[in-house]
Chain A
Amino acid sequence: MKNEKQYNQSFADEVFRRVDFGQEIKKCMQCGVCAASCPLSLDMDYSPRKIFAMIRAGKREEVLSSEALLLCTSCYACKVRCPRGIPVVDVMHGLAHYALSQGYVPRKNTAIFAGEFWSQIYKKGRIDEKDLSRRYFFADGFIPGIRNSLELADIGISMLLHKRMKVLPERSIKGIGALRKMLDKADEVRKGGAVS
């Protein structure tokens, strides 16, 4: 019987061209070792294996809005175990970054937290944990911010009492100006196409 099914290759081409490590997907043989190794694959709408298959099948919307992209814990089990040597975790990270750059927000909380994380690096060169949590809690405004803070207040207070919180605000590193120039340049270079 002739296979009449036609796949649209354009999304796969887009991923190969524009997503960091996107080309690696070409090596996938759909064995599912990544899905079996992933600590949160059962909580994902699509496992990494399915995501790779869907990219080849041209399912752009489903892939870029998939919660799986932001449920990666970065445990690297998939990368260690992939029999084809695909750095699965790096591909998932590349897809997450690309999805957000295209306006998709697969998991709101993690996206906000991670966005604040990166902007702290860009502003100061280092992370101030308490400031990061505060910005995350108050991302939706003052009232939700108070509610979120109260919700986890016991954890914050116990950390403060046990010297596990920096009391003074984090200062910028001395070379912050140069670091920003480097990060801007990396962005500019990257716009010419995926590097790896």
Chain B
Amino acid sequence: MKYFLYWGCSLEASGANFLVSLRPACEALGMEFEEIDDWNCCGASISYVGGNDLAIKVLNARNLALAEAAGGFDIVAPCSSCYIQMNKVNHEIQQDPELASTVNEILAEGGLSYSGNIKVRHLLDVLYHDIGVKTIADHVVYPLDGIKVAGYVGCQSVRPYGEYDSVENPVIQDKILTALGAEAAYFPNKMRCCGSGIFLTEMEHCARLVADILNDAIGHGAELVSTVCPMCAMNLENYQGRINKLLGTEFDIPIVYLTQLMAVAFGMDPKTDAALNYNIIPPEKVLNRALH
């Protein structure tokens, strides 16, 4: 199946291991990706400070308009911020004809228009509903046997609409982990917020949020945390040492993208496909049990 892949700004930098592993892992499952030519930033979670609501809607409508003109395939947005922003704006435009006409008037400044016919989807949605856990399990060469993983979903992956999984107790990531042969840890904090885009600027408040998430994962026996959001990965992994300093904790748990685990289980190259060398806290010490 063919999709537009709207990977966004983070996946070219701090979330690079997500994009590197996503392509081979998903393409092995028969997914085909095309870039939205000349896409712009979605605004992420803090654009509202500088931009008014209409300006943020226009940012996302421009990407939707470009995608519609270039073929209209479903858009897969692997970054949760990209997903929530684009999906939200898409719904608002589809449901409010007055807004749609205002937005189109503005898009016309750049010779674009959007009629509302695109679907914006999360990677988990596509993996579960279009591909299915059976196909995923069929591709497993090296099952992640005996590895206990906490599937961290985060806030923005299923909210606010809960279109493809529960907003309070999502289960799809755990089902995919199980299909890969791993054991999905019981993890009640899987939807607790990590601090998102304000972690860097409000660290003294947000450190506790990440500690609550990691304590819950480790407390339930997880050796790895898997995620599908570049912001979650950044806050849980890159700031782990800083959180230890601030709170006197001793966290040392690897944080990986679900697609990295897929690439490992599918028997792909640990570096060029699974991008394990991009991780700052090395996941190999746990994954070596499955690696060839």
Contact = CB atoms under 8 A, between A and B. Distances in A.
Nearest to B15: A164
A162 B277 contact: yes
Contacts of B107: 182
A146 interface: no
* Chain A interface main SS type: helix
A170 B192 CA distance: 32
Interface residues of B, number: 67
B202 interface: yes
A75 interface: yes
Interface SS of B by simple majority = helix
A129 B59 CA distance: 18
A129 B159 contact: no
A190 interface: yes
Contacts of B38: 173-175
Given A39-B209, A164-B14, A173-B40, A187 B55 contact: yes
Contact of B106 (A87, A90, A182): A182
Given A121-B47, A127-B44, A174-B38, A113 B54 contact: no
A130 B278 contact: no
Interface in B237-260: 238-239, 241-242
Contact of B46 (A113, A158, A183): A113
A97 B159 contact: no
Interface string A80-108: 10000001001001101100100000010
A125 B280 contact: no
B32 interface: no
B9 A126 contact: yes
A94 B52 CA distance: 7
A165 B13 contact: yes
16 contacts: A73-B209, A74-B46, A97-B49, A97-B50, A111-B49, A112-B201, A114-B46, A114-B49, A117-B47, A125-B41, A127-B41, A155-B242, A159-B14, A165-B13, A185-B106, A186-B106
